[in-house]
A = this chain, B = another copy of it.
Amino acid sequence: MDCLKKKILSEGLVLSETVLKVDSFLNHQLDPSLMMEIGKEFAKRFHHQKISKVLTIETSGIAPAFATALVLNVPLVFARKQKTVTMDTDCYTAEVHSFTKNTTHTITISKKFLSADDHILLIDDFLANGEAAMGLIQLVEQAGATVVGIGIVIEKSFQPGARKIKEKGYPVESLVQIASLQNGTVQFLNEVNHYE
């Protein structure tokens, strides 16, 4: 997705060999027009799938997932990272470790928003080690629902997340794939055929 690559090259900050900061357009300040382009692109890539709901995880996944759900005209559910006093006790839960923040938390989703006949498109902003995506997959599997695929805005292809998820048999569509962040430089993976 060329407009996203350009945005990464012009505004992204490489903080280390594993951390790319994109807070000017993706996870602190958001560009609504770009986000809608992202939503349209995910809808296009999964157009051959039956999708009943989009699922993401708070916080940075919400905007791209919302744009996708809007284009697909289906509800969006976001998993919570911790229970609040107004949440159901009746939740599906999974443990997710964040390597960036070096924390482990429980992600939860109310059972009433996932049912066995749901066909779920997972959306998230980043895919690195795959912890968040695997946690979301676990929530869907607990409900007996179907994961139709995982849409990722920025995949760090030098980390094992995408491989792990594909090995489980789930299609991954990443709008941008980053091969390396070495020497303070973003190197994209060669284009792949997304519409095989």
**Residues of A with Cβ closer than 8 Å to B?**
15, 19, 21, 23-24, 28-33, 35-36, 58-59, 62-63, 66-67, 69-70, 73-78, 80, 84-88, 100-102, 109-110, 112-113
Chain B residues whose C-beta falls within 8 Å of the C-beta of A67 in the assembled complex: 66
Give Cα distance in the complex from A66 to B101, angstroms.
26
Q: Can you tell how many copies of this chain the complex includes?
A: 2
Q: Judging by beta carbons under 8 Å apart, are A36 and B100 in contact?
A: no
Contacts of A75 in B (CB 8 A): 29-32
In the bound complex, how far is the Cα of B30 from the Cα of A33, in angstroms? Answer: 20
Please report the C-alpha to C-alpha distance between residue A88 and residue B132 in the assembled complex, in whole angstroms: 23
Q: A15-B86, A66-B67 are in contact. List 16 more A-B contacts (CB 8 A).
A: A19-B86, A24-B113, A28-B80, A30-B75, A30-B78, A31-B75, A32-B75, A32-B76, A33-B73, A35-B70, A36-B70, A59-B59, A59-B62, A62-B66, A66-B66, A86-B100
Residue pair B23, A110 in contact (C-beta under 8 Å): yes
Closest to A113 in B: B29
Closest to A15 in B: B86
Contact, CB under 8 Å: A66 / B32:
yes
Q: A29 contacts which chain B residues (CB < 8 A)?
A: 75-77, 110, 113
Min C-beta distance of A152 to chain B, whole Å:
17
In the bound complex, residues from chain B placing their C-beta under 8 Å from that of A58 are 58-59
Q: Are B110 and A85 in contact (CB under 8 A)?
A: no
Q: Which residues of B contact A113 (CB under 8 A)?
A: 23-24, 28-29
Q: CB < 8 Å: which of B31, B32, B73 contacts A32?
A: B73
- Hey, which chain B residues are within 8 Å of A84, CB to CB? 100-101
The 10 closest A-B pairs by CB, nearest first: A32-B70, A58-B59, A30-B76, A29-B77, A29-B113, A32-B69, A62-B62, A21-B86, A59-B59, A63-B66
Of chain B, the residue at the smallest CB distance from A102 is B85
Which partner residue on chain B sits nearest A109 by CB separation?
Answer: B28
